[in-house]
Amino acid sequence: MRTVVVTDAVREVDGRVDGDRLLIPSDALAGATGWELKPQGLCRGDVCVPVGDTDGLLVDGMIDLASLGAALHWPTVVDAPEGVAAMTEPAADRAAVLAALEAPDFTLPDLDGNPVTFSTFTGKKKLLVAWASW
Amino acid sequence: MFAIAVDESADHARPWVEEGKCTFPVVYDRDRVAVEALGIINVPTVLWIDEHNRIVRPQDAQFPNDNLIAFHGRASEGHLDALRRWVRDGEAPLTIDEARAGARLPSDDEQLARAHFRVGVQLLRADKREAALAHFETAGELSPIDWTIRRAAIALRGDDPFFSPEFIEMFQGWQEAGRPGYNLA
């Protein structure tokens, strides 16, 4: 079924519901989550998280998203009947970056849908304002 | 200025951007990607970020004027004066230790609440309202003081973000918790 996985981006993949588990094909892992299964563990960019038992991630050869979140220690919500899952960074990792006073980079659409990357403005002082219509 | 609208669509943000005749970049963050990365739990929240992308003044609620001061109690003048001194004279608003101590850091429950919120908005976009509202409710229980989740969800489900009973209850709880998000003096 159409499965939506949200991490730092929203990605869609063909997945399968197995009871309360949501499974995605192992060859779709990187495309769906940004994480890759390598000999040294689960890797994303320069970061690798060792995984003791990679078989524990698999059900019938597919990746179980809840087990993936547990292996990464990423807070994870799986709504299997609806085919939607979301994973967020562990608080300790996010806190380390914020306490180091490093501004994270991000890319978001402007009101015309054009992507804007924050680091384009390196070299300028920025007053970053988060606001909302509500 | 770099503005992030914590809104579901460009059309939600557009009337304000047009009325303000904004000449600076305005983006919108419907999945709370930058909001999470920056540790933002309220609006309006400002961060001062220098030429080297270092945060010199961490997340804090500040206002462009005093129009709603009866509601939030924060005068704009001191912040705006300090901002001018930083831009014109390079005067740092805080020492590095003060900035570090002032940074608001998330908890795992708050991060899990963001995951529930993201599942909820996906479901709402797919017209699965009942399932979406269940995730919004769990998110609100996990992170009751996060306005970008809880008050936003009140608006997303079509209730009044100013006068609905849930917002009034949320506002009282937020005040009793010491107004989280209003981090610096």
The closest CB to that of A124, out of B26, B51, B107, belongs to: B51
Q: What is the pLDDT of residue B71?
A: 86
| Count of domains forming chain A | 1
Angstroms from A73 CA to nearest CA on chain B: 10
Which amino acid is it at B48? W
Q: What is the pLDDT of residue A52?
A: 86
Domain span at A39: 2-91
> Which residues of chain A are under the pLDDT cut of 70?
none
Quote the CA–CA distance of A78 and A87 in Å, as a whole number: 9
**Is A114 among the domain residues?**
no
pLDDT at B153 over 90: yes
**Is A124 among the domain residues?**
no
Quote the CA–CA distance of A103 and B88 in Å, as a whole number: 22
Residues on chain B touching A86 (C-beta within 8 angstroms): 114-116, 118-119, 122
**Is A12 among the domain residues?**
yes
**Is A103 among the domain residues?**
no
- Asked casually if ipTM beats, i.e. exceeds, 0.90, the reply is yes
Taking one residue from A and the other from B, the number of pairs with CB-CB distance under 8 angstroms is 212
**Is A77 among the domain residues?**
yes
Chain B residue nearest residue A125, CA to CA? B50
Rounded alpha-carbon distances, angstroms, from residue B101 to A131, B1, B107: 24, 24, 16
Name the β-bridge partners of A42.
A37, A49
User: A133 is written with which tokens?
Assistant: 């219509």
**Is A26 among the domain residues?**
yes
Q: What is the pLDDT of residue A53?
A: 86
Reported as half-sphere exposure (CB side, CA atoms, 13 A), residue A37 has a value of 19
Q: Are B9 and A108 within 8 A, CB to CB?
A: no
Residues on chain B touching A128 (C-beta within 8 angstroms): 2-4, 38, 46-49
Mean pLDDT, to the nearest integer, of B20-39?
96
Omega of the bond leading into B44 within 30 degrees of 0 (cis): yes
- List pLDDT tens digits, range A77-109: 999 999 999 999 999 999 999 999 999 999 999
Chain A residue nearest residue B102, CA to CA? A99
Q: Are A108 and B28 within 8 A, CB to CB?
A: yes
Q: What is the pLDDT of residue B170?
A: 94
Q: Are B107 and B120 within 8 A, CB to CB?
A: no
Q: What is the pLDDT of residue A2?
A: 86
Q: What is the pLDDT of residue B184?
A: 87
The closest CB to that of B2, out of A8, A97, A118, belongs to: A118
Residues on chain B touching A106 (C-beta within 8 angstroms): 33-34, 37
Residues on chain B touching A91 (C-beta within 8 angstroms): 105-108, 110-111
Partner-chain contact B49 A103, CB within 8 Å: yes
Long-range contacts of A47-51 (CB under 8 A, 24+ apart): A49/A73
Residues on chain A touching B33 (C-beta within 8 angstroms): 8-9, 106, 108
DSSP codes, B30-89: TT-HHHHHTT--SSSEEEEE-TTSBEEEEEEE--SSSTTHHHH---SHHHHHHHHHHHHH
Partner-chain contact A111 B28, CB within 8 Å: yes
- List pLDDT tens digits, range B71-82: 889 999 999 999
User: Is A109 in a helix, a strand, or coil?
Assistant: strand
- List pLDDT tens digits, range B95-148: 999 999 999 999 999 999 999 999 999 999 999 999 999 999 999 999 999 999
Phi, psi for A51 (deg, rounded to 5) = -125, 120
Q: Are B82 and B93 within 8 A, CB to CB?
A: yes
Mean pLDDT, to the nearest integer, of B149-155?
96
Residues on chain B touching A124 (C-beta within 8 angstroms): 51
**Is A27 among the domain residues?**
yes
Partner-chain contact B53 A86, CB within 8 Å: no
Q: Is the pTM of this model over 0.90?
A: yes
Burial class (CB in 10 A: 0-12, 13-18, 19+), A47: exposed
**Is A66 among the domain residues?**
yes
User: Is A41 in a helix, a strand, or coil?
Assistant: strand
